[in-house]
Chain A
Amino acid sequence: MDFSYKEKGLIASLGVTLLIFGWYLYGAFLNLSLNPEPPGFGEIIILIIWVAVLESIIQGFLASKNKSQLEDERDKLIEKVSYRYGYYFLSACIWFLMAQILLDTRFDHLPVLTTPYGMLHLLLLFFVLAEVTNFVVQLYYYRKGF
């Protein structure tokens, strides 16, 4: 299958996001407890640095292999539409979380999620999933056509 420069970049971003945040969130949700240590900002910052470094290396490598990194009207349109889907997804997740907090009974079977640590990681999960939605929608439109 032949991928364009944009598609390769998107696949790389998707891979890095899933790998780093997936690994982190998997570990975090496995170790959730009702009396956790306070969430450490250091961990999150290290995570973001990892993503930024890996992204820079991969995007730099892809850019060196492609002489033209021009972004045209089609790219901007696809990006705009994908951000809209990402926004809808994130909004739905935030409304879901707000409803859970207001109703105060829905997390009965998973009380660890009501702790600040659980909430923080749920929010992080929603942000990551919104970003994944953005990448997947872009890839879909590049493949299907727009």
Chain B
Amino acid sequence: MSQQTLAEKVGVTRQTILAIEKDKYSPSLEVSFKISNVFKVSLENVFNYE
């Protein structure tokens, strides 16, 4: 899935997806859940807290 497609599904900009991937931005809980819903996996499988 492209960053643009994911961004559209989640309702954020492609730059925000890019920033999340590069660990330069911690998304809100709402966006985190939306991302995990898109991939149909649990939150812990997408994000982890270090």
**A residues in contact (CB < 8 Å) with B:** 4, 6, 68, 70-75, 142, 144-146
Please state if A73 and B24 are interface contacts (CB–CB under 8 Å): no
Q: Report the bound CA distance from A146 to B28 in whole Å.
A: 12
Number of interface residues of B (CB under 8 A): 13
A4–B24 touching, CB < 8 Å: no
By Cβ-Cβ distance, the 9 closest A-B pairs, closest first, are A145-B24, A72-B12, A74-B16, A4-B15, A72-B13, A146-B25, A72-B16, A73-B28, A145-B19
Bound-state Cα–Cα, A142 to B19, Å? 9
Set of chain A residues within 8 Å of B22, measured between Cβ atoms: 145
In the complex, chain A residues whose CB is within 8 Å of the CB of B30: 73
Measured CB to CB, the closest approach of chain B to A66, in angstroms, equals: 10
- Cα distance, A113 to B24, chains bound together (Å): 45
Interface 1/0 per residue, B11-40 and A, CB below 8 Å: 111011001001011011011000000000
* Structural contact, B13 and A144, CB atoms closer than 8 A: no
Query: A144 — which chain B residues lie within 8 A by C-beta?
Result: 24
Contact indicator B19/A72 (Cβ below 8 Å): no
User: In the assembly, what is the distance between CA of A24 and CA of B4, in Å?
Assistant: 42
